[in-house]
Amino acid sequence: MEFNGLLNTSLDLNAEPLRFPDERSALVDELKRVNAENKRLTEMLTEVSKNYNELQNRIMECNKIKNPGMDNTAASRKRKAVINGSASESSSSDEQSCKKLREEHTKAKISRVYIQTQASDTSLIVKDGYQWRKYGQKVTRDNPCPRAYFKCSYAPTCPVKKKVQRSVEDRSVLVATYDGEHNHPHTSKLEMTSDLNRSVILGLVPCPTSLGSSGPSITLDLTKQKTSYNSSSKVSTPEFQKFLVEQMASTLTKDPNFKSALAAAISGKFLQQTER
């Protein structure tokens, strides 16, 4: 992922004959400089995503230490079970209910996706390649932005649900929470890729049903393409880091504002040099 393609498309260096003898060498120098900067930025991006993954692993480790063998959700559910049932229940039935809860938890796979969108884009539509039907919208207490509720409408038996809400901290970021697993093949790859052009997936967060717990492996099944990553097992792999970096870079290179700004900055530099 280099910005060379961008530079080649934005500035066709061969389009016009060079008027100044120094211009060519200046352009080459500038190109070298931009390439070096590009490399540096790429390294920075890789470093950032690496740090992010390390941090996430640490959080998971901490949670495991805090609640060995049981996540918060299971704990809360167990608490509820104790309240509902009699306190003098035998330990074996307790264990059984625990087992059941854990099974339930692994069955209900939940993942959270952060999607960067245009600030002006007020829709709560995340085109991930599946067909969704909106069945509700609600304003929640912790976030003034409404939360939209979607069901997978591709197959009537598909149990997958999705909640989409704008982030409180950054309104341009959509938070999509996927609940369950699709029991049918992916519907449209084109839609998904087009959406990735419009926005960038900032991260896939393994999202146990309650925060701060170490849940089971959670899969975001954004189709079986290269954009599909099992968040818990692949998030720290070089492939995922590369994917993140590529997504960020492709978003930048596909952004016309970024292109024009870069072109303006470079041409401005050239003008300065030629004026001198």
Residue 14: which residues within 8 A CB-CB, separation 6 or more? none
Chain residues 192-251 in contact with DNA, contact rule CB under 7 A: none
For DNA, the closer CB: 57 or 140 = 140
Supply 256's token pair: 């016309």
Site stretch for DNA (CB under 7 A), options 43-51, 144-152, 212-220, 258-266: 144-152
125 residue type, one letter? I
The least CB distance from residue 171 to DNA, in Å, is 18
Does residue 184 interact with DNA by CB under 7 A? no
Task: In angstroms, give the least distance from the CB of 148 to DNA.
Answer: 7
Q: Which residues pair with 152 in a beta bridge?
A: 132
> Should residue 135 be labelled a site residue for DNA when binding is judged by CB under 7 A?
yes
Among 110, 126, 130, 147, binds DNA (CB under 7 A): 147
The verdict on 153 binding DNA (CB under 7 A) reads yes
Q: Write the Ramachandran bin of 212: left for phi over 0, alpha for psi from -120 to 50, otherwise beta.
A: left
- Cβ neighbourhood burial of 58 (10 Å; 0-12, 13-18, 19+): exposed
Name the strands in the sheet holding 173-179, side by side, starting at the edge strand that comes first in the sequence.
132-139, 146-152, 161-166, 173-179, 110-116, 200-206
Cβ closest to DNA, residue 20 vs residue 135? 135
Burial of 119 (0-12, 13-18, 19+ CB in 10 A): exposed
User: Binding of DNA at residue 105 (CB under 7 A)?
Assistant: no
Q: Which of 39, 133, 224, 242 binds DNA (CB under 7 A)?
A: 133
Binding status of residue 138 toward DNA by CB under 7 A: yes
- Which of 3, 11, 101, 163 contacts DNA by CB under 7 A? 163
Q: Which stretch binds DNA (CB under 7 A): 5-13, 14-22, 130-138, 266-274?
A: 130-138
Helix (H) or strand (E) holding 260: helix 256-275
157 forms part of the interface with DNA (CB under 7 A): no
142 binds DNA (CB under 7 A): yes
Q: Which stretch binds DNA (CB under 7 A): 6-14, 74-82, 107-115, 182-190?
A: 74-82
Pick between residue 163 and residue 259 the one whose CB is nearest to DNA.
163
- Tell me the C-alpha distance between 234 and 240, whole Å: 6
- Please report which helix (H) or strand (E) contains residue 234, including its range: helix 231-234
Residue 158 in contact with residue 184, Cβ under 8 Å? yes
Nearer to DNA (CB atom), residue 215 or residue 244: 215
**Integer Cα distance of 221 and 234 in angstroms:** 13
Residues near DNA, by CB under 7 A:
76-77, 80, 131-138, 140-142, 147-149, 153, 161, 163
